[in-house]
């Protein structure tokens, strides 16, 4: 018998081959190492693991054209709400639409697409400049910068960003990083 098993048996007074009987103290049962007279409420949610591929399959995104169409259609058909980190509504776009869509949802799908295609995008990142422009405009105040100048800065930032990122980075959020950079660099 290993030393670990001996240690556990001695530490917890376990008798080999004895039937398990839960300890009862004053008619209170022990649940999750706490004494309670109530039954647990089974409110623990199961672990759900949704891969980036599953997110893209859910929105039927298989190519760069599908991603571009998803972004453009979502922006055109919905009122986009952009919130800051404290969940305060900062900017809305397309207020005439009744469908409200949080910017975070569009960005989450975009992040999933970047994660799945990061190795290709490192060498062919010119293809996402227009997508990034359409998304970053949603996070910046109106008339932040003229379109051509903003696209030039987006192009430079995308090249810089892809050089320093890889697929295993935990915080892989191009639009958030770009927004922080633009607000630091170009705000008065």
pLDDT band with cut points at 50, 70 and 90 for residue 139: confident
What is the residue whose two structure tokens read 């007279």?
37
Report the predicted TM-score, pTM, of the whole model to 2 decimal places: 0.69
State the Cα torsion 30-35-41-44 to the nearest 10°: -80
Q: Which long-range contacts (CB under 8 A, 24 or more apart) does 34-39 make?
A: none
Half-sphere exposure (Cβ direction) of 37: Cα atoms closer than 13 Å: 2
96 bridge partner residues: none
SS3 label, residue 86: coil
CB burial of 93-105 (b: ≥16 within 10 Å; e: otherwise) equals beeeeeeebebee
pLDDT for 67: 94
Q: Mean pLDDT, to the nearest integer, of 100-119?
A: 90
Whether 75 and 138 have beta carbons less than 8 Å apart is answered as: yes
Spatial CA neighbour of 128 closest among 167, 104, 155 = 155
**Which pLDDT belongs to residue 155?**
93
Query: Average pLDDT of 82-86?
Result: 67
Residue 29 clears pLDDT 60, i.e. is over it: no
Over range 54-79, report the average pLDDT: 91
> Pairing state of beta strands 34-36 and 79-83?
unpaired
Looking at the chain, list the stretches that DSSP marks H as alpha helix, in order from N- to C-terminal side. Answer: 3-12, 52-58, 64-77, 103-123, 129-139, 147-164, 174-186
């Amino acid at each position: 018998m290993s030393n670990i098993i001996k240690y556990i048996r001695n530490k917890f007074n376990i008798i080999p081959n004895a039937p398990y009987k839960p300890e009862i103290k004053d008619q209170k049962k022990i649940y999750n190492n706490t004494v309670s007279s109530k039954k647990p409420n089974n409110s623990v949610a199961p672990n759900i693991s949704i891969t980036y591929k599953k997110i893209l399959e859910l929105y039927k995104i298989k190519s760069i054209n599908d991603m571009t169409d998803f972004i453009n259609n979502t922006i055109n058909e919905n009122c986009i709400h952009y919130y800051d980190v404290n969940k305060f509504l900062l900017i809305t776009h397309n207020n005439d639409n009744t469908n409200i869509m949080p910017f975070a949802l569009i960005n989450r799908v975009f992040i999933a697409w970047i994660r799945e295609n990061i190795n290709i995008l490192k060498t062919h990142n010119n293809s996402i400049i227009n997508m990034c422009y359409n998304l970053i405009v949603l996070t910046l105040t109106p008339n932040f910068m003229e379109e051509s100048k903003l696209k030039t800065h987006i192009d430079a930032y995308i090249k810089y960003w892809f050089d320093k990122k890889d697929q295993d980075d935990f915080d892989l959020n191009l639009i958030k990083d770009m927004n922080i950079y633009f607000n630091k660099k170009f705000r008065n």
